[in-house]
A = this chain, B = another copy of it.
């Protein structure tokens, strides 16, 4: 029997990579035969965390074989998962997102909790199993929380995430604020990114009512700098809209210092952005969303509401 594979979503972010690695550590200590893998390139922020805590990135896979036993972390929607996921045997899901486009033939362990980060759930699972969090795993879990909560500032961040972060910083032996800002800044270095890379870096597709919507998010320290190549970004986005038959593509550039987002909306459904957020897109199809930093709690829910009401 092949090992059970543990992985997060496509376009992996720090929570997805670090949660897969950490859960694999916990599972092996419980005595299960598992391997963490990833579905895409490791981003700069995650690489900073892996380098800092001296952990190798998991191996890359693209699809899973029929009947392969898998554990999903940090996602459940099939379109965000490995190719052929519908023919795999999903044994577990550990996640903090809404449930959608997910189906199994058999009962499974499904642990979804409305916290800011999968890593916060995993930190609890170490405790529930009476297994100590190793120093480097504490570093990975902490990095995941910092990433998903924008250093505990996102509205998705719960008290559980805050408590876990402080606990884990101590085990990992780092200063939370200082390490966190360094890690976020490493991730916000977009200087070497092409327009296509920016658009694909952290893009997720959603089904909202009958519409297909993609929301891509990048963190930046200077949002204006990103939009210097807006023309090229639009070209890439329009290609994706045509290829996938999207109703709307929303490109979100989040200012990690100001905690606002400057968005670019393209596609037939761009009016949904205006009605949902009560803003007017300028001549460049852009708008500033004040205080909006969370794709999940401040964007996807608003757009889903617009598409289903």
Contact = CB atoms under 8 A, between A and B. Distances in A.
Q: Is the interface of A mostly helix, strand, loop or mixed?
A: loop
A106 B102 contact: no
A108 B103 contact: no
A278 to B, nearest CB: 19
Interface string A100-124: 1111111111111111000000000
A97 interface: yes
Contacts of A112: 107-111
Nearest to A115: B107
A303 B110 CA distance: 23
Interface in A62-108: 96-108
Contacts of A103: 98-101
A99 B103 CA distance: 5
A239 B26 CA distance: 53
Contact of A99 (B96, B97, B99, B305): B99
Given A100-B103, A105-B305, 14 more contacts: A99-B99, A99-B103, A99-B104, A99-B108, A99-B110, A100-B104, A106-B301, A107-B113, A108-B114, A109-B113, A109-B114, A110-B111, A110-B112, A111-B112
Interface of A: 96-115, 296, 301, 304-305, 308
Nearest to A296: B107
A296 B305 CA distance: 37
A241 B102 CA distance: 27
A157 to B, nearest CB: 13
Q: Which 6 A-B pairs have the closest CB atoms?
A: A110-B112, A107-B114, A100-B103, A98-B104, A105-B304, A110-B110
Contacts of A110: 99, 110-113
Contacts of A113: 107, 109-110
